[in-house]
Structure 1
């Protein structure tokens, strides 16, 4: 519910600000943050069960999996993309 609370207004902003050349996109990441690493250490069984729900079988790397996508969004390579939610979740 919280993620939709961000995505809805983002789509509205994309429509309103597009005429000014401002693009608005949302990145929904599933990456190994410090909190996720702590969870993995504290709850290894639960962490393994969570991994089974990710089709790619792993949590994303913040730099190579998420960072590169964000760089692409910020570049002119994806200059026509706005109002979108980019699901970087390994298929979860």
Structure 2
């Protein structure tokens, strides 16, 4: 939903500022983000937040198995920026 917001902003700004906006929502990547050392949580757990802790455990379990390849994504992002057709609605 937030991508639709930014696309609407892009259409309003592109003409006025002579620049372009590309909205990218790539999903997860195989990076160091999901390692235990990156996901620090408080030692004292509040019961109302237990579902959040379960989500963090899921991140850790999926470490290294994310579908996104960060190097390939970087290449695609650079290609998009350099593309003569970088209309925000054309890349979804």
So what's the TM-score if we normalise by structure 1? 0.53
Q: Does 1:80 align with 2:77?
A: no
Q: List runs of 5+ in structure 2 lacking aligned partners.
A: 37-56
Query: Match for residue 29 of structure 2?
Result: 31
Q: Please state how far the C-alpha of 1:86 moved relative to its aligned partner.
A: 4.7
CA deviation vs aligned residue, 1:42-72 (integer Å, no higher than 9, x gap): 42xxx39xx6xxxxxx622211x21001101
Q: Does 1:66 align with 2:63?
A: no
So what's the TM-score if we normalise by structure 2? 0.53
Secondary structure of 2:74's aligned partner: helix
Tell me: CA distance 1:16–1:86, structure 2 relative to 1, closer, same or farther (3 Å). Answer: same
Query: Match for residue 11 of structure 2?
Result: 15
Equivalent pairs counted in the alignment come to 69
Between structure 1 and structure 2, the one with the greater Rg is 2
Secondary structure of 2:25's aligned partner: strand
Give me the whole-angstrom Cα distance separating, in 2, the residues matched to 1:42 and 1:73.
31
Q: Is the 8 A contact 2:10 2:20 kept in 1?
A: yes
Tell me: CA distance 1:74–1:40, structure 2 relative to 1, closer, same or farther (3 Å). Answer: same
